[in-house]
């Protein structure tokens, strides 16, 4: 009988985000099979580690870990060998590569990637800015943004903006509404990169219909009229072309893929901006 799920234990001395991201990237390659995640974050003492080991023994499965303390890593590895649970240090191959090139780290630092450094506060600042400039708010201060996203309703402007903010990119987003003039400040922007988000009318209608369904609204609303939606998209595309703003078709893109493309565009934009200064 085919296995449709399995236990996956993720043991970390930090938040576990690295393990979750890495394991899900691999799990996604297996259709019809899902992992039952058991996450053990902030494991920094023997007592915490032994508790995780006890749970692994109770529900055997694969074990991935990020433990920079070598004694903790050895203790977990030995326990997994005894239990018969395959385990892997996700950081070990990367640490080995780093050590071969730049030498060993002076002192192991659990959760060092989450220290309150300048990059951390930059991301918090970006997130605050992005939330304050969502859906056309405070357009008079868009000049302080790194990126301004535009598009018709349901082109994933807000989730993309939040994702970018978590990468430290101050992002504002502005909905395109047919026959509604843009804020005057948009025409004068110099610092931000303005990006137009596009999607196929069919995809937008599908998302809007689901939105109306969740709100128990009229399913026959013009908001989901295929012809009107197609006109909206065409008008937005024309606007982006008139201003020379780069566009991204988000029809078949995930938020992460869209954000990655925007970050690449922003890097080029900054270089041009610096060259022109």
66, 106, 108 from 9: Cα distances, Å: 11, 29, 23
Arithmetic mean of pLDDT over the chain: 92
pLDDT score recorded for residue 107: 67
Query: Is 185 part of any known ligand binding site?
Result: no
Q: What are the two backbone dihedrals, phi and then psi, of residue 242, each rounded to the nearest 5 degrees?
A: -60, -35
Residues whose CB is less than 8 angstroms from the CB of residue 163 and which lie 6 or more positions away in sequence, other chains included: 255, 256, 259
95 versus 226: which is more confidently predicted?
226
pLDDT score recorded for residue 108: 65
Query: Is 23 part of any known ligand binding site?
Result: no
pLDDT score recorded for residue 2: 52
Q: Taking residues 126-142, report their average pLDDT.
A: 96
pLDDT score recorded for residue 106: 61
Query: Is 180 part of any known ligand binding site?
Result: no
Q: What totals of helices (H) and strands (E) does the chain contain, helices first?
A: 10, 8
Q: Whole-angstrom distance between the N-terminal and C-terminal Cα of the chain?
A: 66
Query: Is 45 part of any known ligand binding site?
Result: no
* Confidence class for position 222, pLDDT limits 50, 70, 90: very high
**pLDDT tens profile 9-59:** 999 998 898 899 999 999 989 988 889 999 999 999 999 999 999 999 999
Query: Is 27 part of any known ligand binding site?
Result: no
Looking at residue 40, the DSSP 8-state letter turns out to be: E
- Residue 118 to residue 138: CA distance in whole angstroms: 26
Burial 182-197 (b: 16+ CB within 10 A, else e): eeeebeebeebbbbbb
Query: Is 155 part of any known ligand binding site?
Result: yes
Structural domains for the chain: 5-114 (3.40.50.10700), 118-276 (3.40.50.300)
Query: Is 157 part of any known ligand binding site?
Result: yes
Query: Is 153 part of any known ligand binding site?
Result: yes
Q: Residue 178 above 60 pLDDT?
A: yes
- Residue 167 to residue 63: CA distance in whole angstroms: 29
């Amino acid at each position: 009988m085919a296995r449709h799920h399995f236990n996956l234990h993720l043991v970390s001395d930090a938040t576990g985000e690295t393990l979750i991201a890495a394991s899900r990237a691999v799990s996604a390659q297996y259709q019809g099979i899902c992992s039952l995640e058991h996450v053990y974050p902030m494991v920094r003492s023997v007592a915490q580690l032994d508790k995780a080991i006890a749970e692994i023994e109770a529900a055997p499965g694969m074990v991935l870990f990020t433990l920079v303390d070598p004694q903790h890593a050895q203790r977990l590895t030995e326990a997994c060998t005894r239990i018969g649970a395959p385990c892997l240090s996700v950081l070990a191959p990367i640490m080995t590569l780093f050590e071969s090139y730049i030498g060993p780290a002076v002192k192991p630092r659990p959760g060092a990637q989450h220290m309150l450094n300048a990059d951390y506060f930059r991301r918090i600042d970006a997130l605050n800015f992005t939330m304050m400039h969502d859906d056309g708010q405070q357009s008079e201060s868009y000049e302080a943004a790194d990126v301004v996203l535009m598009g018709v309703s349901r082109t994933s402007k807000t989730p993309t903006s939040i994702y970018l903010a978590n990468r430290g990119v101050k992002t504002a987003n502005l909905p395109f509404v047919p026959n509604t003039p843009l804020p005057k400040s948009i025409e004068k922007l110099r610092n931000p990169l303005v990006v137009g988000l596009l999607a196929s009318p069919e995809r937008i209608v599908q998302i809007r219909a689901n939105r109306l369904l969740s709100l128990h609204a009229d399913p026959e609303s013009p908001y989901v009229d295929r012809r009107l939606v197609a006109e909206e998209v065409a008008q937005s595309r024309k606007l982006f072309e008139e201003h020379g703003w780069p566009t991204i078709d988000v029809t078949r893109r995930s938020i992460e893929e869209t954000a990655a493309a925007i970050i690449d565009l922003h890097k080029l934009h900054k270089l041009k901006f610096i060259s022109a200064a």
